[in-house]
Structures are given as C-alpha cells and as structure tokens.
Amino acid sequence: MKQHCYALELLVRDYECDMQGIVNNAVYQNYLEHARHEYLKSQGVDFAELAREQVNLVVLRAELDYRQSLRSGDRFQVTVRLEQVSRLRFAFCQEIYRLPDRAIVLQGKITGTALGPNGRPCQSEGISALFHRVEFRSR
C-alpha cells in the first residue's frame, strides 16, 4: 500500500474557542475536514466534477483521540495520510500538531467511501488514482 502525506498550517481564531479559552472539541473536525479537502484538491480531485458525475464522498466513521488543547492564536499543523481500507473504503489518518513545538494535539482516523448516483458505494476514479502516486506536500 502506498501512502500520501500532506500538511496544512493553520491558526486558531478567537471565535473557535469556548468559555474555557480552548478550541471547542467540534471545531477540530472542521480542521480535519479542511485539510482533507485541501489535500484532495492538491491531488487533482475535483469536487465539482464528482458532483456532476453524481458521486459523493461521504464519511462513514470518525475516530478522534484528543491529547491536548489549542488556544486562541496558536499555530498548528494538520497532516493527512491516505490509506486504502478495502476496494470501496478509504481512510484519512490525520494528526494535529501545535507549532512550533510539534506537540501532538489530536490523532484521528476518518473512514469514507464514494456513493454513486444510485446511493450505493462505488469506486471513485479520483480517489483510486491516488493509491498509484506517492508524494508529500506541505502548505
């Protein structure tokens, strides 16, 4: 199995924090999703084209292990590694690191599939093609 890596650097915004002054737990899923979308775009996967083909990428399972909290103004990096789980399923193994110390904040595994026009799981050519290329990108 070949792996791809991608890293995206972001900054915590004030409105993402709760009354305790830390990032709300639900916001981390937004960070992970944004990094997945940026990764797929960087690899040429076009969501508009998939929609025209009536193919939808959906999340089947989200596993998140919170290790530390981010606070307003913290810089952090979200990493993405794509794994093929089965012929129809794939997983994004992701981590969030606080910068500059690279302390691990969150580890997650997001399992997904593509649904075709009939609403049934199908192979997405865009996702399948990713398993035949290897590269690392950082933004």
- 114 to each of 25, 45, 65, how far by Cα in Å? 27, 13, 25
Counting Cα atoms < 13 Å in the Cβ hemisphere of 119 gives 0
Is 46 labeled as catalytic in the residue annotation?
A: no
Q: What is the CA radius of gyration of the chain?
A: 16
Catalytic residue among 18, 65, 74, 101, which?
18
Q: Shortest CA distance to 6 belongs to which of 84, 59, 78, 91?
A: 78
- For residue 69, count other CB atoms closer than 10 A to its CB: 19
Which residue numbers are catalytic? 18
